[in-house]
Structure 1
Amino acid sequence: MTSTVNLHLAVIGAGPVGLALALHAARTLPQARVTVFDARPADRDVSGDPRTLALSLGSVQTLERLDVWHAITAGGAVADIREVHVSQQQPALLPGLVAEALPKFLSGVAQALGEEPQVCIKALDEGVPRLGAVLRYGTLVAPLQAAWLAAQAREPDRLFTRFGTPVRGIKAEPDGVELDADIAEDYDLAVVAEGGVFADQPKKTWPDGLSRDYRQTAWVGTVTLSQPHNGVAYERFTPQGPMALLPLPPEPGGVANRAALVWCVPSDDDPVQALNDEQRLLLLGTVAHPQVGPLTALSPLKAFPLGLNVERKLVDGRSVRIGNAAQTLHPVAGQGLNLGLRDVVELVQVLQREPSLDAALARFGRRRLPDRWALIGVTDFLARSFTWPVPALATVRGLGLAALQHAGGVKSRLARGMMFGLR
């Protein structure tokens, strides 16, 4: 039975989840040997990668514990999320009749049904400095990589970096795994943390996993606002799908009022694809909540197919999948990366506490079940709800938003779940 004390760990993937795992394991398991593999060459500069990421408060706290958050924020390229504003564009079906049917104790909900349903979650109300943060992929990964390389330089006999070395296969062995990475190498545990995007992933069939093509496209870019965003992240449910505007930090010497756009629409009836940039800006202005204010500019947009790709089990012998390698989700809740970072924290915790590797992995699989499947279920339901031809569904969703806004305790528990995980 392999001990976790002298563990020989392979981390496959040097993205944010893989690097966070390597750093956390190196700090928490002082006798473990840790090797990071990634196919990209060591000299490739990742700092300029413009993809937008949304971090929950729990993820920010994880990065603070890894002593990298200061380096991440040093350049001023991070925007705090101080409020999340969720609304539904279309009015509820027959709002007066629905309101009249509600019990008197839901009078606040009934009144809200005469307006656009919305929920506002504020950091101030939850007693926290921020709900989360928004930053670019390169702003996160470059400091994580620098911290890992610095740690590896301090302990070259225990920590190893294998950039430019793709792992082509993982073979199970009686007491570990064999990695095909140029040569065959044995490890006690391999953690796969490179997942890619839905379009490029091999699809799963039950009982191994689950894949679902939502037949939706995410159009991604940057919007210039006519007024300050004040740290507000907007999620807007429209008849075509969800649209999000996430606050961005000011450009150095450039535009101050910017937001990252994630605009989800049906792939088979795409209202965005055939439009030019000016037409897209006009259409987006009709979709955004009035509180956002006029939109003044829109960057060229990139399109990404959306779907669900989930491994049924995180643990398979001495191989573990975390982050996008374990679950690729619809961006409607913006929780994919945060779920992966919670995988990291839980895995290192059980490796630290359990003397047996097999016992640690079994416990990890059990402990991640509630948070993981709750979030998978919520995002899958919301994503598919926009494809169901049920006229009253918008009414039900609007009623839920209105009820949530007036149910303080429930709203607060939801906020805590989004910040720290669903339990």
Structure 2
Amino acid sequence: MFQVPLKIAVIGAGPVGLALALQAARSLPDARITVFDARPVDKDVSGDARTLALSLGSVQLLQRLGCWPRDAAQPIREVHVSQAPPTLMLGGLAAEVRLRAAEQAVPMLGAVLRYGQLVAPLQAAWLAAETAEPQRLCSRFGAPVAALKPLAEGIEVDAGTAEHFDLAVVAEGGVFSEQARKAVVHDYQQTAWVGTLTLEGGTPGLAVERFTRQGPLALLPLPPENGRQRAALVWCVDSQDDPVRELNDAQRLAVIGSLLPNDPAVGVGTPVAISPLKAFPLGLNAERTLVEGRSVRIGNAAQTLHPVAGQGLNLGLRDAFELVLALKEARDVPAALRRVEWSRAPDRWAMIAATDFLARSFTWRWPGLPAARGLGLAALQAMPWAKTLLARQMMFGRR
């Protein structure tokens, strides 16, 4: 228990920063918390259409905060991962893995929603908490942080005016191409094309990941619109030999249809319309350590990953909640930060290693590699205990 009120600066009012600020405000009732963000407070974030994939663990954390927008989210009931042809058969099984919420005795494996649909209620909840306790909760929207300066017993945050804090939590994310390079960096020379597909038919709540020659192709279920299924598209390809950039919409639909599983039993549906696509370069950009003096990095500020496993935001939310727990139970800030560094390492590095291996594997041109990947999927499908371990890792991280 801290003997004097703890002063915390949270830099970044995205989903990870706001979730941390809200949790800290509730779990540390004496702490003084200030949220900094470059965007003005009156900027409408609700229409930001970027897609977020959240694990069940993340959904549960947000539910406990009272900030889960249930009506805006599409639950993921099933995940289908498969190898594009040539497929490999093992004991009569296709090169695929199917994870179902019902098999894991959970209501959902996760959920999908738009960025703005999550940030808007988180920000509203934070502003309401600030109004209720203005003596200890504060916002500095429209105030980009220019510098952090280490002090003997704290840290100075410069956002136009220098302020002293006991701890600065850096939660500003960003995408790989716009970030300053961290300690562990690898450019995968891949591009992610993202947008929205409209599907004819298809199974509600089905998420699909297809391992193609150039990279993973993923469909994440969205709430239906006008009676038709929709899915967020993440299509990863070789940046040097990009097969997507010069295609028109009809050609893109045809290629996507040829890459997706055509087995009616899978239930993907038929792509019939596609939105304009945006391109994002992909890479790994991670810090070796989360902590530096009295500052700690969480979320994309600590590690930006390839989207092959869709775990970046989930990792960041686990960073945030573990940090608040450590501050709640520790006697001083250094002890709390040592605990966070130690406790988060297994989950962080397991996810970094797994996504890095998968992402790099799509750049290798070894003979038989696609068949080996298909063999691994088929073997995993044949072992229920292994599927359960994988599902639990995806839902809750490494514990």
**TM category, shorter:** over 0.9
- Aligned-partner SS, 1:270: coil
Residues 162-197 of structure 1: CA deviation (Å, up to 9, x unaligned): 000000110111111011110111100000000200
Q: Does 1:394 align with 2:370?
A: yes
Out of 259, 262, 275, the residue aligned to residue 247 of structure 2 is 275
User: May I ask how many residue pairs the two structures share in their alignment?
Assistant: 395
Residues 56, 111 of structure 2: 8 Å contact kept: yes
Superposed CA offset, 1:15-60 (max 9, x none): 0000000000000000000000000011100000000000000000
Contact 2:202 2:270 in 1 (8 A): no
Whether 1:210 aligns to 2:184 is yes
1:336 is aligned to: 312
Deviations 1:277-310 (A, max 9, x none): 1111111110111231321111111110000000
**2:194 counterpart residue number:** 220
2:107 is aligned to 129
Q: How many Å apart are 1:203 and its aligned residue?
A: 1.3
Structure 1: gaps of 5 or more residues:
100-108
Relative to structure 1, the CA distance from residue 57 to residue 4 in structure 2 (aligned partners, 3 Å threshold; closer, same or farther) is farther
Shift in Å, 1:238: 0.5
SS for the counterpart of 2:41 is coil
Distance 1:4 1:60, change over 3 A: farther
- Name the amino acid aligned to 1:236: R
SS, match of residue 337 in structure 1? helix
Contact in 2 for aligned 1:170/1:178 (Cα 8 Å): yes
What residue number does 2:75 align with? 80
In structure 2, the residue matched to 1:366 is 342
Query: What does 1:249-260 align with in structure 2 at a 5 Å threshold?
Result: 249-251=223-225, 254=226, 256-260=228-232
SS of 1:178's equivalent in the other structure is strand
Are positions 1:307 and 2:279 aligned together?
no
Note the 1:12-411 alignment, pairs <5 A.
12-69=11-68, 72-73=69-70, 76-92=71-87, 109-112=90-93, 115=94, 117-204=95-182, 209-251=183-225, 254=226, 256-290=228-262, 291=266, 292-411=268-387
Are 2:204 and 2:229, in contact at CA under 8 Å, matched by a contact in 1?
A: no
Query: For residues 136 and 183 of structure 1, do their structure 2 counterparts lie closer, same or farther at Cα, with a shift above 3 Å needed?
Result: same
Deviations 1:43-82 (A, max 9, x none): 100000000000000000000111112xx12xx3210000
Q: Which runs of 4+ in 1 moved over 3 A?
A: 2-5
* AA in 2 matched with 1:80: P
SS in 2 for 1:368: helix
Does structure 2 conserve the Cα–Cα contact (< 8 Å) formed by 1:77 and 1:250? no
Within 2, Cα distance between the matches of 1:5 and 1:418?
A: 39
Q: Is the 8 A contact 2:8 2:166 kept in 1?
A: yes
> Once the two structures are superposed, what CA deviation does each residue of 1:83-104 show, in whole Å capped at 9, x if it has no partner?
0100000225xx5xxx7xxxxx
Return the alpha-carbon distance in structure 1 between the equivalents of residues 38 and 127 of structure 2.
Answer: 16
Paired residues of 1:219 and 1:261 also in contact (CA < 8 A): yes
Is the CA contact 2:73–2:112 (under 8 Å) kept in the aligned structure 1?
yes
Could you say what secondary structure the match of 1:229 adopts? Answer: coil
Looking at structure 2, the residues matched to 246 and 42 of structure 1 have their Cα atoms a distance apart, in angstroms, of 30
Task: State which drifts further: 388-397 or 378-387.
Answer: 388-397
Instruction: Work out whether residues 4 and 354 of structure 1, in 8 Å CA contact, stay in contact via their aligned partners in 2.
Output: no
Determine the C-alpha separation between the residues in 2 that align with 1:228 and 1:212.
36
CA offsets 1:363-401 (integer angstroms, 9 cap, x no match): 110000000000000000000000012021112111110
State the alpha-carbon separation in 1 of the partners of residues 199 and 53 from structure 2: 19
Provide Cα deviations, 1:108-154, integer angstroms capped at 9, x if missing partner: x4332xx4x00000000000000000000000000000000000000
State the shift of 1:4 in Å: 7.4
Q: Distance in 1 between matches of 2:197 and 2:159?
A: 42
User: Shift of the alpha carbon at 1:255?
Assistant: 5.2
Identity of aligned residues (%): 64
CA distance in 2, matches of 1:293, 1:171: 54
1:4–1:357 contact (8 Å) kept in structure 2: no
- In structure 2, do the counterparts of structure 1 residues 408 and 23 end up closer, same or farther at CA, with 3 Å as the change threshold? same
Distance 2:3 2:150 in 1: 18
Query: C-alpha separation between the residues in 1 aligned to 2:251 and 2:28?
Result: 55
- Matches of 1:4 and 1:202, distance apart in 2: 37
Relative to the length of structure 1, the TM-score reads 0.91
- CA distance in 1 between counterparts of 2:317 and 2:148 reads 23
Q: Which amino acid is 1:325 matched to?
A: A
